[in-house]
């Protein structure tokens, strides 16, 4: 996939990443940071910074408060997460989503945890009776 800007140096919309890492290895942090950077590169976004939460079960951690603070800066496009679970447990995530939405920016998730509702397109063997009708001459 070629970038829309055809490799021209442009400043894309600025986004900020958020990771919630408890008892995670340095390798996991590196992999998740790389996934956010690659997502931004593919979507022509500028990754301004990544806020990392390392402890606590409060909706208002220092890392999340810092994220909310930068969302008030001009020209911020959104927040990018590796997965929705990085917002925390459901009780905390609901409030955090609300606060991000209140700031007026987009919330982007690299890997959506919801299963696809689309069914696979299974090709059926066509018989002469199931062939599509052709337009008749009028």
The predicted-structure confidence for 90-131, as pLDDT tens digits, reads as follows: 989 999 999 999 999 999 999 865 555 544 444 444 444 444
- The per-residue pLDDT for 126 is 44
The residue count of the chain comes to: 138
The mean pLDDT of 37-59, rounded to a whole number, is 90
Q: What is the DSSP letter of 31?
A: H
The mean pLDDT of 4-22, rounded to a whole number, is 80
This model's pTM is above 0.95: no
* Residue 21, domain member (yes or no): yes
The number of distinct structural domains making up the chain is: 1
- The per-residue pLDDT for 11 is 72
For residue 98, the domain's CATH number is: 3.40.50.1390
The predicted-structure confidence for 100-111, as pLDDT tens digits, reads as follows: 999 999 999 998
* Residue 67, domain member (yes or no): yes
Concatenated DSSP letters of 89-125: SHHHHHHHHHHHHHTT-EEEEEE--SPP-PPP-----
* Residue 4, domain member (yes or no): no
Alpha-carbon span 44 to 41, nearest angstrom: 5
Tokens representing 49? 């910074």
Q: Which domain holds residue 62?
A: 14-111
- pLDDT for residue 41 is more than 80: yes
> Are the C-beta atoms of 17 and 36 separated by less than 8 Å?
yes
């Amino acid at each position: 996939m070629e970038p829309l800007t055809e490799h021209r140096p442009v400043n894309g919309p600025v986004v900020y990443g958020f990771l919630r890492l408890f008892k995670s290895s340095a390798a996991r942090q590196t992999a998740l940071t790389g996934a956010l950077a690659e997502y931004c590169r593919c979507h022509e976004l500028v990754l301004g910074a990544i806020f990392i939460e390392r402890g606590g079960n409060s909706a208002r951690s220092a890392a999340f408060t810092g994220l909310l603070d930068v969302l008030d800066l001009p020209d911020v496009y959104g927040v990018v997460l590796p997965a929705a679970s990085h917002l925390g447990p459901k009780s905390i995530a609901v409030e955090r989503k609300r606060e991000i939405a209140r700031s007026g920016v987009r919330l982007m998730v690299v890997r959506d945890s919801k299963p696809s509702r689309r069914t696979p397109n299974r090709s059926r063997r066509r018989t002469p009776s199931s062939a599509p009708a052709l337009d008749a001459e009028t």
